[in-house]
Structures are given as C-alpha cells and as structure tokens.
C-alpha cells in the first residue's frame, strides 16, 4: 500500500538505485499470484459447477488468492488504525473484504483483494520508475578519479576528491566532479547532464561539470567541488525534494480524500443500519460494503502524485530541474516571460564585431596593436580584443588608466586604446557613432597620438534566441526584456531577437518591482542569471535560472534551473508543464466522476461488490497509466550550426561555459 493512499509500503521506504525486474519483485509477484489463484478459482467454478470437488478446489483457490492479496495491505491498514490512529483507504478495503467473507462472498472478497493489491503495486512501480531516472544521473559520476600530485598520478575513489585536487581525465573518461581546465584542449559530451546533443569544446580556464565525458584530448582539471558535493549530486537532491512537494493540486486531492474516508464509513454505516431496519439486513449490509469500496478515493489520492513525479523526472532528463510540484504546476500557468539580457539572451562573452581603420592601416594591424596592450588587462572588452588577435606581441611599459583606457610601447611606438571620450575618433567619428547606434561598445586605437582605428565589441545574442522567442509567442506567451544596459544596446538586440517590449537601464530593485507589478496582472516567469537578478527571480511566479549547474546562489533564488544554456529549453519546458497540468486535471475529474457514479449504483444495488471492485480498480489503473504519460517528452535537438564543432584547437574555442563561472562573487559588475 502506498503512502499516497494512506498506508506506507516497505517498498517505498527503500532508496533503491537499481530498479529490480518485475519477476524478482515480491511487491509485484504476490499480487500477481493472487490474481492467478482467483482466476483459477473462477475457471474451476465455471467448468465444475455441479461437482462438490470442484467447489472445494475453487473455494481453496479463492481463499489463497484472498490471503495473498490482503497480505499486501491489510496488516499495514490495521497497524495504522491501532498504533497511529489513522483511517486510510486500505482500511476501507480491509473492512470490505472482511465483511464480504462474513457474508459468505469469498469470491468477491478475493477479487477485491487482488484488484486492489495489483493496483497499489502498479502505483509503487510507477513511482519507482519515475524516480529511476534521477538515480541514473548519479551513474554518470565515475567510481574513481586520477589525481595528479608531484608529477605522479594516483587513482582514488571519486568520493574522496577534494576541492583543489588536480584531476587527469583521459579520452573516454567521465569528469569526477566540477572543475576548471588548467591544461589541455578537448571536447566534452554533456548530453546526459545538460541535454545538449553536440559536444562542446573546452580549453584552459573553462569550467566543466561532473559527469561530462571527455571525447578527445587529455585534460587536467582543478576540482572546484568535493566528490560528494558536486553539481550532479545537487541536481539529484533537488529533484528528489521536488517529488516530495507535490504541489497545490496534490494538496487539493489530499484535502478531498481526507474527509471522504471517514465520510464513506459513516455513509456505509447509515446504509447498513437504516437498510437493515427497513429491509433485509443481509442485502443492505452487502450494499454498505459495496459503498465502502465504490467510494474509496485511492484513484483521487494518486491522480496527481504519479503525474508530478513522472513529469519532474522527465524534465530533469532534458536539462530542466524543477524544485517542487507546486512550481511545476505554476510553470504551466505562465502567460508572460521576462528575460534578462546579459548572460541569458546573450552569450555573456563579448566579441569583436566591427573594426574601422583610417587610410593606410589594415584591420589586422589595428587588432594586433590593441591586443598587445589589452593582453595586460582583465576587462571583458580586453578579453574580446585579445581573442581576436591571439598572436599579437606583448607591449611594454603598459599603464592602465581606470575609466579611460590603456597605454604602452611597442617597437618604439606609443600605443593607446581607450573609450572615444578619451581618444578622439577624429575621421572615424561617424563610424563610431554608427557602431554605438547598433548597440556596440567602442574603443578607439591611437598610434603615436594619432587615431588609426576603432573597434566595436558586443555581447552577441545567442544564436537560438530568436527561435526561442518565436516559439514562446506561438504558445501565446508575452516576452519582455529586462536589462540594466542602455536603451540603445537593449533595443538593438531585442529587435534581432523579436522582442518588442523592452525595459532598460534597470537596477536589480527596479527589475523586482517590474516583476511584482506584472505578477499582479498575470502569472509571470523571470529568467535570469541568478545573481543580479535574484530579487526579480524571487518576485516572479516562477523564477528560472539559466545554466545554473554548480551555482548555489542561482539554485537558491530560482524555482527552476536549466542545467544547459540553450534558450529553446524554455518553450519546451513550458509546453511540458502545460501538458502535465492537463493530465492532472484529467485524472482529478476522472477520479471524482468514478466516485460520483459508483455511489448511487452501489446504494441502489444496481452493481454488486464484484462489479464495483472491478470498475473502481480498473479506473485506478487508468489514472496511473494516464499519469505516466507525463513522463514522455522529446528533447529539442540542437542544430550543429548553433554549436561549435570539436576542432581540438584551443585558439578556436568559442562556447558559453556549461556552468556559471560568470556568477561568482568576485566577478566585475555588469548590466
């Protein structure tokens, strides 16, 4: 008997990592054996109706079937009544079966015990199956890891890896815990973790997640999390907690079932007592027992939990971690999505987009001169310029002036790189203005105090952003951009993405206020990076953190976490949640209809005990099967042109980090 129906099962209390096959699972074998004996008894009755020996054999078959079926729920039901003082659905079934036996209807009692026990066993297996995907995630963490120290390599259990250990990961091996690459270039298969089907390139400085598979070169990684406390284990814990919180609809089902059980007992007593006074006692007591069975709300009690567990487990498999059943239901109700710009719609990795030069100077020269200075800076714009000219020689006598730019010497010439207000664009003024109008951040390059070029840098929109926004609009969901960036840059990127509602130059508290106002109008989701957007994430109907693997801050502030950074997960997750809500509603309505229809039929004697048992338990099986449909989903494929290929060349690596290194506290402030 499952906890959902008011009685705990020994099976449900075990934390199995490996699901046993049904032919070795006693929770399935015992009800199945009960069914075999009941069926044998029925066949014997039909074929030897006039034989005394046949009647005896059939009676024995029914008794064995009854005892086997009742064994799965009756002891726990009585224990709950006398020790914990709880009246559950299993008690109704126990009383019904016992009453049927007293009245001489052993056949009906055996059928009741079998159908109820097999329905409960199927429910337990459904829950176990839905949870098995979570434990399967942990299998992506290897049992051992190679730790490098003092030029020697030692194999240790993965659980003993500590922060700061240097791990060597060879081709074909899995990463034991979260870390940062310190040497080597390779491609990682993260499909089992993030849901992204194309391997991503990594190079020194890139973050990697536990469970990723190294596909090409040898990597050395510095562990940033212990082997027992990495992002993958955190995700599994999140989903397990989510399954325990079944949401508002689950609580609604519980609220209906809680008074219904004692109400059904009172109704059955009234039917039995009043009917016995006014008519044949045996007839009315039998009808009272039928009422007990027909009004049992077990289908209602399991209608939502099975759906929620199945749906949350399925979402985790394509990279969406939902923290509670309540969140899952709210996710399906969203009608407006607010999206942060930097790091969510954009890569959060500025790149050089435009280079303007004066006559006699080439694009390559301007990039090389500026990179020779910027290689000494850690500013995001400097990183973008250095990446555009990685082989530029380093300048000497470098001096950085905060808020203005940087100067230095190269081959006897003075170089300057800075903002257009510090280094006058001169003849390039119109081109600089055009770059800024297009949402680019510009720097001017001067050589020997003469302006020779201008470079436009922009945090580019993620290539799938427009497709994701379009998919959301097709679902009837409004999309709003919230950003701390200036209106010009925000509007430029919003136009490319297909977003018409833009709120720019917002501080974190302004974003929270915008979300709070929107929530008062309609259910609103907020998608952000989990740090600057934390107040808005908390204020939203559902807060969603993008690419939050390994970030405690993002996980704590958001209700939903995407382990990858493909924006097309957003409409996919919303569609999945809406479908789950529809299945929940179907199950609740079906459960209530069954109770409503069976009660008058049972009271009037239209249906006997066997018929009511059959209809009621068949409906329960249908509810379980319908709830399991929520586990079916299709993962969105990521076209290869949207993801860099596995070149193996460190200089060509261009990918968003699979983790949120850009969420760390020591990071430079940004819009």
Listing DSSP states for 187-221 in one string gives: EEE-HHHH---S-EEE-TT-EE-TTPEE-SS-EEE
Structure tokens of 433?
Answer: 């203005």
Q: What is the mean pLDDT of residues 47-56?
A: 82
Percentage of the chain beyond pLDDT 90 is: 22
Range name among 25-29, 291-295, 326-330, 620-624 with the lowest pLDDT average:
291-295
pLDDT at 227 over 80: yes
DSSP label at 639?
Answer: -
Instruction: Using DSSP bridges, classify how beta strands 186-189 and 200-202 pair: parallel, antiparallel or unpaired.
Output: antiparallel
pLDDT(553) > 70: no
Strand order in the sheet with 478-482: 320-322, 560-562, 542-546, 524-528, 336-340, 478-482, 501-503
Question: Looking at residue 657, what is its pLDDT?
Answer: 34
Do the beta carbons of residue 239 and residue 321 sit within 8 Å?
Answer: yes
**Where does the pLDDT of residue 452 fall: very low under 50, low under 70, confident under 90, or very high at 90 and above?**
very high
Query: Which runs of consecutive H residues, i.e. helices, occur in 389-486?
Result: 429-437, 465-474
- Of 95-109, 571-585, 618-632, 644-658, highest mean pLDDT: 571-585
Query: For position 400, what pLDDT does the model report?
Result: 79
pLDDT higher for 665 or 470? 470
More confident residue, 135 or 349: 349
340 in catalytic set: yes
Q: Could you tell me if 439 and 493 are in contact, meaning their C-beta atoms sit under 8 angstroms apart?
A: yes
Mean pLDDT (whole number) for 455-463: 86
Q: Does pLDDT of 210 surpass 80?
A: yes
Residue 79 and residue 269 in contact, taking contact as beta carbons nearer than 8 Å: no
244 pLDDT tier (thresholds 50, 70, 90): low
Q: How far apart are CA 663 and CA 671, in angstroms?
A: 13
Residue 173 clears pLDDT 70, i.e. is over it? yes
Q: Which of 580, 577, 627 is nearest to 335 (CA)?
A: 577
pLDDT higher than threshold 80 for residue 202: yes
Q: What would the mean pLDDT of 483-493 be, rounded to a whole number?
A: 79
Residue 59 confidence (pLDDT) above 80: yes
* Stated pTM of the model: 0.61
Q: State the pLDDT at residue 329.
A: 82
pLDDT at 486 over 80: no
Averaged pLDDT, 200-219: 84
Higher pLDDT, 115 or 368: 368
Residue 20 to residue 26: CA distance in whole angstroms: 10
Provide the percentage of residues in the chain whose pLDDT is more than 70. 77
Q: What is the mean pLDDT of residues 433-446?
A: 85
343: tokens are 């790091």
Confidence check: pLDDT of 446 > 90:
yes
Q: Which among 340, 485, 529, 566 is annotated as catalytic? A: 340
In the numeric block, which tokens belong to residue 591?
A: 């459960």
- Give residue 61's pLDDT: 94
Residue 37: pLDDT band with limits 50, 70, 90: very high
255-264, 319-328, 653-662: the lowest-pLDDT one: 653-662
Per-chain mean pLDDT for the chain: 78
CB 481, CB 461: distance < 8 Å: no
Structure tokens at 79: 């224990």
* H helix or E strand, kind and range, residue 356: strand 351-357
E strands, 121-280, in order: 144-149, 152-157, 166-169, 179-183, 186-189, 200-202, 207-208, 213-214, 219-223
The per-residue pLDDT for 467 is 93
pLDDT at 555: 54
Q: CA triplet 506, 510, 512: central angle to 5 degrees? A: 125
Phi, psi of 660 (to 5 degrees): -100, 70
């Amino acid at each position: 008997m499952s906890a959902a129906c008011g009685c705990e099962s020994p099976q449900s209390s075990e934390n199995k990592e490996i699901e046993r096959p049904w032919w070795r699972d006693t929770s399935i074998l015992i009800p199945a054996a009960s069914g075999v004996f009941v069926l044998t008894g029925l066949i014997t009755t039909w074929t030897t109706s006039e034989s005394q020996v046949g009647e005896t054999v059939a009676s024995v078959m029914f008794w064995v079937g009854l005892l086997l079926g009742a064994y799965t729920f009756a002891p726990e039901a009585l224990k709950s009544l006398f020790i914990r003082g709880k009246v559950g659905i299993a008690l109704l079934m126990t009383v019904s079966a016992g009453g049927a036996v007293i009245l001489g209807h052993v056949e009906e009692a055996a059928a009741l015990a079998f159908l109820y026990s097999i329905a409960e066993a199927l429910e337990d297996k459904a829950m176990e199956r839905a949870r098995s995907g979570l434990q399967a995630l942990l299998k992506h963490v290897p049992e051992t890891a190679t730790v490098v120290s003092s030029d020697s390599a030692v194999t240790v259990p993965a659980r003993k890896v500590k922060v700061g250990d240097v791990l060597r990961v060879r081709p074909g091996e899995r990463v034991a815990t979260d870390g940062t690459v310190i040497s080597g270039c390779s491609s990682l298969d993260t499909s089992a973790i993030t849901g992204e089907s194309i391997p991503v390139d990594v190079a020194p400085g890139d973050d990697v997640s536990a469970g990723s598979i190294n596909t090409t070169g040898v990597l050395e990684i510095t562990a940033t999390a212990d082997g027992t406390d990495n992002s993958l284990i955190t995700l599994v814990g999140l989903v397990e907690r989510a399954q325990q919180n079944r949401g508002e609809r689950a609580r609604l089902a519980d609220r209906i079932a809680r008074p219904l059980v004692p109400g059904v007992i009172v109704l059955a007593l009234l039917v039995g007592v009043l009917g016995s006074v006014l008519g044949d006692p045996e007839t009315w007591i039998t009808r009272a027992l039928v009422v007990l069975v027909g009004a049992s709300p077990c289908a209602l009690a399991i209608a939502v939990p099975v759906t929620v567990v199945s749906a949350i487990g399925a979402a985790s498999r394509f990279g969406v971690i939902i923290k509670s059943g309540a969140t899952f239901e709210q996710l399906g109700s969203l009608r407006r999505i607010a999206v942060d710009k930097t790091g969510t719609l954009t890569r959060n990795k500025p790149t050089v987009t435009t280079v303007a030069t004066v006559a006699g100077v080439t694009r390559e020269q301007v990039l090389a001169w500026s990179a020779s200075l910027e290689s000494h800076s850690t500013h995001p714009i400097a990183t973008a310029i250095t990446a555009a000219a990685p082989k530029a020689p380093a300048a000497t006598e470098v001096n950085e002036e905060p808020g203005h730019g940087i100067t230095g010497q190269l081959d006897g010439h003075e170089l300057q790189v800075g903002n257009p207000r510090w280094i006058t664009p001169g003849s390039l003024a119109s081109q600089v203005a055009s770059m800024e109008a297009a949402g680019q951040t510009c720097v001017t390059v001067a050589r020997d105090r003469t302006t020779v070029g201008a470079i436009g840098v922009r945090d580019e929109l993620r290539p799938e952003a427009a497709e994701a926004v379009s998919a959301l609009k097709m679902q009837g969901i409004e999309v709003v951009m919230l950003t701390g960036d200036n209106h010009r840059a925000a509007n430029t990127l919003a136009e490319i993405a297909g977003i018409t509602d833009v709120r720019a130059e917002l501080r974190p508290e302004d974003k929270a206020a915008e979300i709070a106002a929107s929530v008062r109008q309609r259910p609103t989701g907020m998608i952000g990076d989990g740090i600057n957007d934390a107040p808005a994430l908390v204020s939203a109907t559902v807060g969603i953190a993008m690419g939050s693997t390994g970030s405690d801050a993002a996980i704590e502030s958001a209700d939903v976490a995407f382990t990858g950074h493909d924006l097309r997960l957003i409409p996919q997750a919303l569609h999945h949640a809406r479908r789950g809500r529809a299945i929940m509603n179907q199950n609740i309505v079906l459960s209530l209809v069954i109770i409503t229809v069976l009660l008058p039929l049972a009271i009037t004697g239209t249906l006997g005990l066997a018929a009511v048992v059959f209809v009621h338990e068949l409906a329960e099986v249908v509810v379980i099967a319908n709830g399991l449909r929520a586990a079916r989903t299709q993962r969105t494929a990521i076209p290869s042109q949207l993801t860099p290929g596995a070149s193996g060349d460190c200089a060509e690596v261009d990918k968003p980090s699979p983790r949120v290194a850009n969420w760390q506290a020591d990071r430079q402030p940004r819009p």
